[in-house]
Amino acid sequence: MKRARLIYNPTSGREMIKRHLPEILEKLEIAGYEASCHATTGAGDATRAARIAVERQFDVVIAAGGDGTIHEVVNGLAEQEFRPKLGIIPSGTTNDFARALHIPRDVASAVDIITNGELIPVDIGRINDKYFINIAGGGRLTELTYEVPSKLKTMLGQLAYYLKGIEMLPSIKASNLRIEYDGKLFEGETMMFLVGLTNSIGGFERLAPDASINDGLFSLLILKKVNLAEFIRIVTLAIRGEHVNDPNVIYTKANRIKVQSNEKVQVNLDGEYGGLLPAEFANLYRHLEVFVPLKDIRPNDRPTDWVSGKRYS
């Protein structure tokens, strides 16, 4: 019998996941899984729970929560030789990774995608000794994601980020960065750099328009020092995916990236604090298999050697 371990964050999003537990477990059992669950207790607990699930050789690990929970679960799986397949139930404030994979926020539909068994391989990012699934970045501009208080997010959802962004705009300063990427070099005053694995970042679906989740490459986006008016113009362009040709933006793909600074620059990993620069990024090619609705997956993310229908049953 297949075994599934559900790791859920009871506090994520608007705290609604608990109400759905009986339904989730029942659906999994009907699909032939022996299912059990673990409620996370605080920071780092989802990583520990995922490591234990690996030790116990669960076939499938399901992360239910926001990007923070999925990030932690992936950190528990990524360094292991045996890696269970990953299911996702997006129930957080921010679920950029699930959105990139077209996994719906409706709990029953998300579970159906897991029980349906269609899988896709995804790349994972490694930075120093940590892993990320969606995005890493640095520079003052990226710091707002962890400056938003959790209570505010529970109350206001995504709106909380925009409010914080408006509040912070006038105080954003550039940092001096040295960024090496696949043999090339950028050095200079930088508002932010982003290293992305998917096209869905902070609600901007077109920030990395031609990203693929399983091509072994990161999308690297560097925003040079700009004034407030230029910044607002570039954000407006970014909504339409037209920022990539702006002279203040470097947008490219790379497999290995090294970022250094003579200043104290924080790194953000999937929306959480990830330590200070320097950082070396490596793309781990097709490191995890994730349950997805294959028919909805963008052509960019559908590897031709996989579409033939890898199904887990």
Ligand X SMILES: Nc1ncnc2c1ncn2[C@@H]1O[C@H](COP(=O)(O)OP(=O)(O)OP(=O)(O)O)[C@@H](O)[C@H]1O
Residues that bind ligand X (CB under 6 A): 9-13, 40-43, 45, 65-69, 72, 92-94, 150, 153, 271-272
Quote the least distance from Cβ 145 to ligand X, whole Å. 8
Catalytic residue flag (residue 26): no
Quote the least distance from Cβ 197 to ligand X, whole Å. 17
Q: How far apart are CA 133 and CA 71, in angstroms?
A: 6
Using the minimum distance from each CB to ligand X, give the nearer residue, 43 or 163: 43
Q: How far apart are CA 134 and CA 219, in angstroms?
A: 11
Task: Give the long-range contacts of residues 299-302, CB within 8 A, separation 24 or more.
Answer: 300/199, 300/210, 300/211, 300/212, 301/100, 301/101, 301/120, 301/212, 301/213, 301/214, 302/120
Residues linked to residue 87 through DSSP beta bridges, in sequence order: 62
- The answer to whether 218 and 125 are in contact (CB under 8 A) is yes
Query: If DSSP codes are grouped into helix, strand and coil, which group holds residue 207?
Result: coil
CA angle, 40 as apex, 38 and 44 as ends, to 5°? 125
How would you classify the pairing of strands 256-261 and 266-269?
A: unpaired
Using the minimum distance from each CB to ligand X, give the nearer residue, 10 or 104: 10
Q: How far apart are CA 200 and CA 102, in angstroms?
A: 10
What lies within 8 Å, CB to CB, of 183 at 6+ separation is none
- Alpha-carbon dihedral 189, 131, 219, 216, rounded to 10 degrees: 140
Q: How far apart are CA 101 and CA 198, in angstroms?
A: 9
Quote the least distance from Cβ 98 to ligand X, whole Å. 11
Determine the residue with CB nearest ligand X: 66
Using the minimum distance from each CB to ligand X, give the nearer residue, 68 or 87: 68
* Sequential DSSP letters for 37-105: EEE--STTHHHHHHHHHHHTT-SEEEEEESHHHHHHHHHHHTT-SS--EEEEEE-SS--HHHHHTT--S
Q: Which of 29, 205, 230, 272 is catalytic?
A: 272
Quote the least distance from Cβ 39 to ligand X, whole Å. 7
Using the minimum distance from each CB to ligand X, give the nearer residue, 9 or 142: 9
Using the minimum distance from each CB to ligand X, give the nearer residue, 66 or 139: 66
Quote the least distance from Cβ 34 to ligand X, whole Å. 24
Quote the least distance from Cβ 308 to ligand X, whole Å. 34
Using the minimum distance from each CB to ligand X, give the nearer residue, 92 or 202: 92
Q: 45-55 and 67-77 helices cross at what angle (nearest 10)?
A: 40
- The answer to whether 190 and 225 are in contact (CB under 8 A) is yes
Query: Catalytic site residues?
Result: 272
